[in-house]
Amino acid sequence: MAEPDVLAPLTVAVPLCTAALLAATARWIPRRGPDVVALLASVAVTTMAVVLALTTRDAPLVYWFGGWHPVRGVAIGIAFVVEPSSATMAALAGVITVASLVFSWRYFEEVGHLYHALVLTLLAGMVGFSLSADLFNLFVWLELMSVSAYALCGYRIEKPGVVQGAVNFALLNTIGTLTMLLGIALVYGRTGALNLAQIGEALRDRPAGGPVVVAFTLITVGLLVKAGTVPFHFWLADAYTVVPAPVGALFAGVMSDLAFHAFARIYWDGFSQALAEHRQAVRTALLALAVASVVIGASMALLQADLNRQLAFATVAVGGPMLAGIALLSPRALAGTTILVTADGALKAALFLLIAGVIQWLGAGDELLLHGRGRMRRGLLPGSLMACCGLGVALVPPFGPFLGTALLTGSGGRNWLTAVLVCGSAVTGAVFLRSAARIFLGWGPKKDPALTRQPTEPDEGEPAWQPHKDWDSAGHRVVMLAPPAALVVVGSCLALVPGAADWFTQVARSFTDPRHTAALVLHGHRPPAPTAPAHAGPGPSAWLWAAASCAGAVTLAATSLWWQRFAGRFRRILLAPVGVLKGLHDGTVGDYTLWFAVGLAALGTGWSLTLR
């Protein structure tokens, strides 16, 4: 096995070199050749990331490209800082890429020769984004990741709907990345540094003046656009509806959530000491955005009939607890966020692949149109997997999302925040339980005026359909269902690893100590290993509210199936606010850009008044 300091650059070099090789030769090698080569490269990246996560438990690893080490505390080169949380993000990207490529074998009837190269380039961007300790190179990896994502989102360019979704995605994300670049420029002008540890040292003894506050605001907004946090979330539904399913699994499972990891690193390494006296203002603003994401994301997911749009808004809702874990500014909460990103990421990727399989098998992606179509023996496994994902999102104990949420809520001492996160998880989980019951059990009516349907689908009657012919093949079903099943296992069983909560909490303590990080990165002084924390597992109260969340999800799923029986004269009253909420998500990119500007102005105004 290679030394860890050799593995760090190989995690990005392997996919990039393989992508270049496939782009040059894929036209002339057999159909399965690119599949196998891309899969082997992804497995290699995953293996290296797991090894890095295990070998950096006691102390982070710093790799300086070209051997350009700091001179008297001044960083003159580009560095990767590898510690377990960043390596875990890289491993998650690798695992989902492997599942995505296996799923692609039977998903595409014909795939272009650049598809595998783009997927590997996206993987390299995500891994580099996870490991980079340089602010400008974070932007470079973000751009590499984004350009690959834009091309993959518009992969089926012959369809007009795909063009619109890809344009909305590209436009809003480009605005976000340019906003982040402006913030980076202000930081460089203020500190003369781009390495995060050096930025933190330069700002440590200075008051947080105007340029620093503006820079922090712009960088925050740029990353929140990528994460899909309210009110910067509007691109998600359009992109998730048109992106090919194997790529959508990467979008939902890891690409959006990486922005939360990057924000945590930028805050703790670069800005935490300069803003130490204003932590409450930072916490308040981020918690407000987190709560808005939970409420709006969960509500919109519940009001969708299209399965991909359900998942898009569920991604917004699940991002709320992740941002809340960062906003609490404590190691225990940050550990919970890391577990939540990993566990929920695997479940969301599984749902995206599973929904694609259902669409291919049953001929539609609308929950109402699919009413009862899955009531056959072959629907047992996909229906069970969808229900498992719904229960996982609803925090069924003792699995991954439950453990992550328990850690972050247990560190805040805020009962109101626990209540919001639990209710949001219950509503989001209910969405997928309802879909599973309607599709695979035939429960509920075939029409529901509260649910938004895609305009391309008929309002009355059902189109003729036949199960996809390939689903008669056992091999086809195995290839289509094995990847989501494996991801469900990964997302659920992370919490079952002995000592997982204690380990992630110990890692988070080191992550949130910027002086130790600066000593390691700039001077090569290895900090002492953090002391093992007291038992960080969930307490009795966490099990009680998790049980309440699961019960609430089941109850709400049943209620949303049969609400019309009991609404009576209150039906119009109930539907009035639904129309207002849906009207905000009208698909017009100009309106979405306006909401971006409103969010940026609100956050900038709030922080300019409180962080100085």
Tokens of 95: 């695992």
Rounded Cα distance between 28 and 362, Å, is: 35
Q: Is the pLDDT of residue 467 over 70?
A: no
Q: Across 446-549, where does the E strand assignment appear?
A: none
Rounded Cα distance between 358 and 454, Å, is: 17
Is 0.85 topped by the overall pTM? Answer: yes
Rounded Cα distance between 427 and 296, Å, is: 11
Minimum mean pLDDT range among 176-180, 189-193, 395-399, 408-412: 408-412
Distances (CA, A) of 463 to 355, 370, 421, 441: 19, 10, 39, 20
Rounded Cα distance between 11 and 129, Å, is: 11
Identify which of 284, 413, 392, 396 has the alpha carbon closest to the alpha carbon of residue 344.
392
Q: Is the pLDDT of residue 49 over 70?
A: yes
pLDDT at 293: 93
Mean pLDDT of all residues belonging to the chain: 83
Rounded Cα distance between 282 and 472, Å, is: 55
How far is CA 141 from its chain centroid?
16
Instruction: Please tell me which of 39-43, 449-453, 587-591 the model is most confident about, judged by mean pLDDT.
Output: 39-43
pLDDT at 549: 92
pLDDT at 460: 37
Identify which of 156, 178, 344 has the alpha carbon closest to the alpha carbon of residue 239.
156
Q: Is the pLDDT of residue 120 over 90?
A: yes
Helices 279-302 & 571-583 angle (0-180, nearest 10): 120
Q: Is the pLDDT of residue 94 over 50?
A: yes
Rounded Cα distance between 467 and 270, Å, is: 54
Amino acid in position 240: Y
pLDDT at 127: 94
- Confidence band (pLDDT; 50, 70, 90) for 459? very low
Q: Is the pLDDT of residue 589 over 90?
A: no
Helices 474-493 & 400-410 angle (0-180, nearest 10): 20
pLDDT at 2: 52
pLDDT at 551: 93
pLDDT average, residue stretch 303-317: 90
Enumerate residues 6+ apart whose C-beta is below 8 A from 73. Answer: 198, 201, 522, 523
Rounded Cα distance between 49 and 84, Å, is: 9
pLDDT at 494: 78
| Residue listed under structure tokens 């956050």 | 603
- Confidence band (pLDDT; 50, 70, 90) for 377? confident
- Confidence band (pLDDT; 50, 70, 90) for 466? very low
Rounded Cα distance between 151 and 245, Å, is: 14
Rounded Cα distance between 57 and 244, Å, is: 37
DSSP 533: P
- Confidence band (pLDDT; 50, 70, 90) for 42? very high
Amino acid in position 484: P
pLDDT average, residue stretch 529-539: 61
pLDDT at 501: 78
Q: Is the pLDDT of residue 367 over 80?
A: yes
Tokens of 161: 């709907």
Rounded Cα distance between 301 and 427, Å, is: 8
Distances (CA, A) of 163 to 301, 458, 548, 571, 587: 23, 22, 43, 37, 13
Distances (CA, A) of 598 to 60, 219, 289, 562, 602: 39, 16, 13, 38, 6
pLDDT average, residue stretch 12-40: 86
Amino acid in position 71: V
Tokens of 423: 């209710």
Q: What is the DSSP string of 547-601?
A: HHHHHHHHHHHHHHHHHHHHHGGGHHHHHHHHHHHHHT----HHHHHHHHHHHHH
Q: Is the pLDDT of residue 465 over 60?
A: no
pLDDT average, residue stretch 235-249: 83
The residue that leads in pLDDT, 115 or 588, is 115
- Measured over all CA atoms, what is the biggest interatomic distance in the chain, rounded to whole angstroms? 75
Determine the number of helices (DSSP H) and then strands (DSSP E) in the chain: 23, 2
CB 457 within 8 A of CB 304: no
- Confidence band (pLDDT; 50, 70, 90) for 586? low
| pLDDT (tens digit per residue) in 557-572 | 998 888 777 765 565 6
Q: Is the pLDDT of residue 295 over 80?
A: yes
Minimum mean pLDDT range among 41-50, 296-305, 488-497, 530-539: 530-539
Cβ neighbour number for residue 407 with a 10 Å cutoff: 30
Q: Is the pLDDT of residue 97 over 90?
A: yes
Burial class (CB in 10 A: 0-12, 13-18, 19+), 544: exposed
CB 538 within 8 A of CB 422: no
CB 453 within 8 A of CB 305: yes
Minimum mean pLDDT range among 364-368, 420-424, 483-487: 364-368
pLDDT at 279: 87
pLDDT at 507: 82
Q: Is the pLDDT of residue 418 over 50?
A: yes
61: helix, strand or coil? strand
Query: In the chain, pLDDT over 90 holds for what percent of residues?
Result: 29
Rounded Cα distance between 450 and 305, Å, is: 9
- Confidence band (pLDDT; 50, 70, 90) for 154? confident
The residue that leads in pLDDT, 348 or 210, is 348
Distances (CA, A) of 234 to 169, 170, 225: 9, 12, 9
Cis geometry, peptide bond prior to residue 398 (ω within 30 degrees of 0): yes
Q: What is the DSSP string of 480-494?
A: HHHHHHHHHHHHHHG
- Confidence band (pLDDT; 50, 70, 90) for 458? very low
Tokens of 19: 């992508």
CB 385 within 8 A of CB 354: yes
pLDDT average, residue stretch 332-352: 90
pLDDT at 572: 64
